[in-house]
Structures are given as C-alpha cells and as structure tokens.
Chains A and B, each alone.
Chain A
Amino acid sequence: MVVITEFLMKNKNQHWLSYQKEIADDHYYFARSCIRQNFFPASETIFLKILREELGKDIFDDPEQTTCTGIAYHSGILPFETTMTVVARQFALMTEAGYENFICSCVTSFGIYSEVVETWKHFPEEERKSREALMKATGKTFNLPKNLVHTSDIIYKFRDEIAAKATLQLVNQGNGTPLKIVDHIGCHYAKIFPDKGIGGAEYPYVLAGLIDAWGGEQVDYPERRHCCGFGFRQYLIKENRGYSITNSRTKFESMKSYHPDMIIANCPGCTFFLDRWQYVLSEMEGKTYDTDGYGIPVLTYEELAGLVLGYNPWDLGIQLHQVDVEPLLIKMGILYNHNDKFKGLDGVDVGQPDKPQVLKIIL
C-alpha cells in the first residue's frame, strides 16, 4: 500500500512534465506591464538587471511600446479588432527593432498576445484586417514573433543558473527548514491555452520550479488554482469589488492552515490583490492569515529572485507592499538596514506610511 501511495504521489508531481514549451535562449523584445510598473515599480528593473548582468542576455526595452489594452478589452469596452491592432503595433515595434522573441511581463498581456496569434491562425481573414487597419492607422507592418513567452518563463528557464549565483536559499534560518511557499499562477497564463504554460493549467510548474530550485517547499492547498478575483470590470467598478475580495478570501481561508511563509505570483494583478485584500480583510474582520499579525507576504517572482541573489531588499521595492515583507527578511536571515526602508532618492527623508488598524507593520 505504501509503495502504491508513493508511486501515485511521485507521478502526480510529475504531471507538469507533459506540458513543456520552447523558450528562446537570448535576444528578447521586452513588453512591459501596466499593473507591474505602477504597483511593483522595481520588479521589471530587477528583471532586466538579472537578464543583462547575471545571465548576460540581450533584451530590448522599447520606449515606444504601450499598453496591450487587455484590461479594457476584458472589461467589455473595446472591440476585439482594436486589441488585435494594438497587438499588431507591438509586433511591428519588435520587427522594427530587429527582434523575433517577444516576452511580456503581464499575464493578462500574455493571454492577449497568445489569443491574438491563435485567432489569426484560425481566422486568417482577421490577421489580414488587422494588418490593413495597422497600416492605415500607423503606416506600420510586422512579422509574427518566432517565440512568445511570459517573463516568468524566462526566470524558470534560468532558475538553475540563478541558483548557482544565489547567496541564500529559501530556508528559515531560525530552524533550518525550507520556507513554505504558496505559488499563485495568473489565470491567463495557462487556463486559456494549457499548452502554452509550463506544466499546463492543472499542474503549472513555472513558479513551483523556482521554489524547488531555490530550496523552498511548495504548499499544496485545496484552492491552489482558484482565481485571485481580479475580474477586470468587477474590480474597476467600486460597487462590484465584493467579487474580487471574496475570491481572494476563498484562497486565504484555504491556505491558512498550511501556515505559508509567503505567497509568490507571476501575474502582477494577482500579486496586487493577494497583498491588498489581506489588508482590507484585516480591517473588515479584524484578523490576519498568519499567526503573528503581519499577514502573509506576497512577492513577485522578480522580487524573490532578487532576494535569492542577495540584492538590497529596499532596491527591490518590497517596502511598497501593504503586507510588510520585513518579517520574512528576518526569517530568511537577510542582512539589511531597516533605517533605509522608507527613504527616497539618495536617502532623503519622506516620512513613513500610517499604520493600519490591524495589520502589523515594522516602521
């Protein structure tokens, strides 16, 4: 019986192997994320630094790119034709810059780019119309990307190279045990097209692979694949935000008994909601989802990679999260200067945030 159980567990954990995809090795055109730039404003800078300085890769950061329009499209205010043509313009910028490997920082965008390319495959007439609209509106034309992946795929691809340069592991320095880490995968990473995600939709491995490679321990919990609750228009419209917070709450309630040390996400929207809704739930219900009253820190995968590589945590922008990450730094044994936490450029004093009513924060 024990042998059968071990066999099943072993094979269950290998399901992700049936979903693999090609990830280009170098020379990337980088498409930024609206949400990541606003709410995690150092993450893309850290990603570029890791690619260029740690891994020696060529990556082009184009000032002419814009939003992909994904949030507006999924909220029902834009025709699909508009989104397809904006995507065509992004591909035209890539073509003009001499690149063929398109990587994007936003999971909504990854879904949008993948959907547009798939639509053009199945409806060639739509590609012709998008090309005509783009030419008429901007005078541009484009080649399709040869490789189209999300930026978390890139970090996944080079996870062992990053591990080789790491200054620490994902281990609780107090007791030497692996940190228990919840991975949250944005719905549009693999639920639309499971074959475009590492590990597919049911057993996505793109972040779990980082946890395994960097010494942590995955947390498997019942609502692991549940949506964070963004809901596009459901969040944008204040009256509808109950949708969003209720879905995040479903996840927190499901994961809390596993006592996770942190949550990591590959979608900037998910990272944002899983951070901010903990604050709101603490104000509404007077409780937190950890045992010490600080909440469960939520990190982007770039922030996590930066910590593992030994970067100054305040250069990663983690002080801008509402759930304080500082207790996690202590747990990981990271050396840092607390007094630099809330400083501006060149150490300028800009005061401190106010304290929430319930959620603890180290000021």
Chain B
Amino acid sequence: MNSLHEQLSTDIRFQEGLKTCISCGTCTAICPAAQVSEYDPRVVTETVQRKNEGLLIQLLKGDEIWRCGECLSCKTRCPRGNTPGYIIQALRALSIKTNLFRESEQGLLQLKVKRTAGDHILKYGYCVYIDEVDTDRYPEQGPVWEWYRKNRETILARLGANYNQSGAGTLRKISDQSLHDLHAIFRETGAIDRFQQIEDGCYNGVPDEE
C-alpha cells in the first residue's frame, strides 16, 4: 500500500495545487472561510508540504478540510502559484477513499450533499430543481419563493419556461436518454462508487433530513 502522501501526490488537483509554499499567509488573509471558521489554508498547505503521515492522517479525519468554500480566491492571490483550494479537493477525495471522513463530523455531513445535489443530478439532470427546494430545508427562500413554488406551473408558463415538459427551454424535463448518459458516465468514472462510500460511511451517522 502506498503511503497517504504518495496517494495524494497522484491526484492532478494536488499536483496543480502545491508548488512550493513560502508560508506567507496571503491565502489565509483573503480566505472567506478563514474569516468565519477554524480553517487556515496556509496551515493546510504547509502541513501537506511536510509529507508527514501522522499530520496528514489528522487532516484527513478532521473537520478543517471540509471548511473551505471553494471560492478559489486563494488561486488568484498566491504569489507562488499554489492553490490551497485544489489541495483541499484532493484531500477531500482521499478522505472519502480511505474512509477517514467517517471520523469527522463535517465529513459525515457529506451525506446531505450527496442526497441533495448528488441525487438530484441523477433524478432530474440538474444540481438543484424547484420541486425539491422547500422552505423547511431552505427557510431563507422566504415568502415570495413559497408563493412562486406553490403556483409554479402557471407562473413559469407566464414567464415562457418549459417546466417539466419535453423539448428545450427553462426547467424542461431532461430526456431519458440524457439521464441515461449521466448515469453511465457516473458509473464509468467512479461517482456511483463514491456515492455508495458516502452512504455506507454515514449509515449510522447524521440524518439526511432535519
């Protein structure tokens, strides 16, 4: 079995993300996640640069790698061409692959993402679809959304959408052939396996609904 660092090094996002970090902290200064949570991209980058297996395991089973918001502001600003956001993508993938995400409260919350955005892609062909966005799970949507969603068929028709119908247009029903293609791509490229790993890892973890 290759070391965790060797496994990380095969990920192209890691190869792109880590050149040589000079630990200047510019990424942390610009990072929206660092402003609101226990997340420090400078420390994460410095940690993976050390190639210390023990420290890497701590990262992979901790909450910190799940705090990044992937805005990629760090890519713009790093004076040495590093991208901590890409390093995070590689760390998250390895955390799930090694099942270390099960030891993180934030890692377990991936089940909620899988059961919303992930399942919606395979069910509807969209990451998000109006039928699934209720104000219980998304109270910030507010009363206008509630009114719109309740009357969506006539309102969307008024606005020239093609809601839940075949053919082109806004919020159209994605064809069976296109959904079949998505399923086939997900199987072929490992997404179905990752979904199963998230489901299995969270079998007694967090509930999927509030």
> Which A residues are within 8 Å of any B CB, using their own CB?
32, 34-35, 37-38, 41-42, 44-45, 61-67, 69-72, 74-82, 84-86, 89, 111, 119, 122-123, 126, 133-134, 136-138, 140, 187-188, 190-192, 194, 201, 226-227, 229-234, 236-243, 245-247, 250, 276-277, 279-280, 315, 317, 319-322, 342-346, 348, 350-356, 361
Contact = CB atoms under 8 A, between A and B. Distances in A.
A61 B72 contact: no
Given A76-B110, A234-B69, A276-B141, A38 B167 contact: no
Nearest to A344: B154
B146 A354 contact: yes
Interface string B3-43: 00000000011001000000000000000110111000000
Given A62-B168, A69-B121, A344 B151 contact: yes
A187 B72 contact: yes
B106 to A, nearest CB: 8
B160 A77 contact: no
A135 B164 CA distance: 29
Interface in B154-195: 154-161, 166-172, 174-175, 177-179, 181-182, 184-191, 194-195
Given A344-B158, A350-B151, A35 B128 contact: yes
A79 to B, nearest CB: 5
A315 B13 CA distance: 43
A77 B187 contact: no
Residues of A contacting B: mostly: helix
Contacts, number: 258
Report the 10 A-B pairs with minimum CB-CB distance, sorted nearest first. Answer: A231-B69, A344-B154, A137-B184, A353-B147, A354-B143, A76-B92, A82-B191, A42-B159, A350-B151, A71-B127
B185 A137 contact: yes
Interface in B36-91: 36-37, 66-67, 69-73, 75-76, 89
Given A192-B72, A350-B155, A136 B32 contact: no
Given A61-B169, A243-B36, A320-B144, 15 more contacts: A37-B126, A42-B160, A66-B174, A67-B127, A72-B113, A72-B121, A119-B12, A122-B16, A133-B185, A187-B71, A192-B76, A230-B71, A321-B144, A344-B151, A344-B154
A84 B130 CA distance: 26
Given A133-B188, A237-B113, A231 B71 contact: yes
A236 B69 contact: no
Q: Give the one of A62, A79, A190, A192 with max B CB within 10 A.
A: A79
A86 B210 CA distance: 31
B113 A356 contact: no
B168 A233 contact: no
Contacts of B146: 353-354
Given A63-B175, A77-B117, A191 B71 contact: yes
Contacts of A342: 147
A48 to B, nearest CB: 9
Given A63-B175, A66-B178, A71-B127, A77 B75 contact: no
Give the bracket for the number of chain B residues in contact with chain A: 35 or more
A134 B185 contact: yes
11 contacts: A37-B161, A66-B125, A75-B117, A76-B89, A82-B190, A137-B187, A137-B189, A230-B71, A237-B113, A241-B140, A353-B146
A345 B157 contact: yes
Contacts of A191: 71-73, 75-76
B20 to A, nearest CB: 18
A242 B32 CA distance: 12
A237 B140 contact: no
Interface of B: 12-13, 16, 32-33, 35-37, 66-67, 69-73, 75-76, 89, 92-93, 96, 106, 109-110, 112-114, 116-118, 121, 125-130, 133, 137-138, 140-148, 151, 154-161, 166-172, 174-175, 177-179, 181-182, 184-191, 194-195, 198, 210
A89 to B, nearest CB: 6
B14 to A, nearest CB: 11
Contacts of B179: 66
A276 B174 contact: no
A192 B16 CA distance: 12
Contacts of B37: 243
A206 to B, nearest CB: 16
B185 A85 contact: yes
A41 B142 contact: no
A350 B154 contact: yes
B147 A351 contact: yes
Given A76-B66, A76-B113, A79-B93, A37 B170 contact: yes
A197 to B, nearest CB: 10
Contacts of A237: 109, 112-113
Contacts of A346: 158
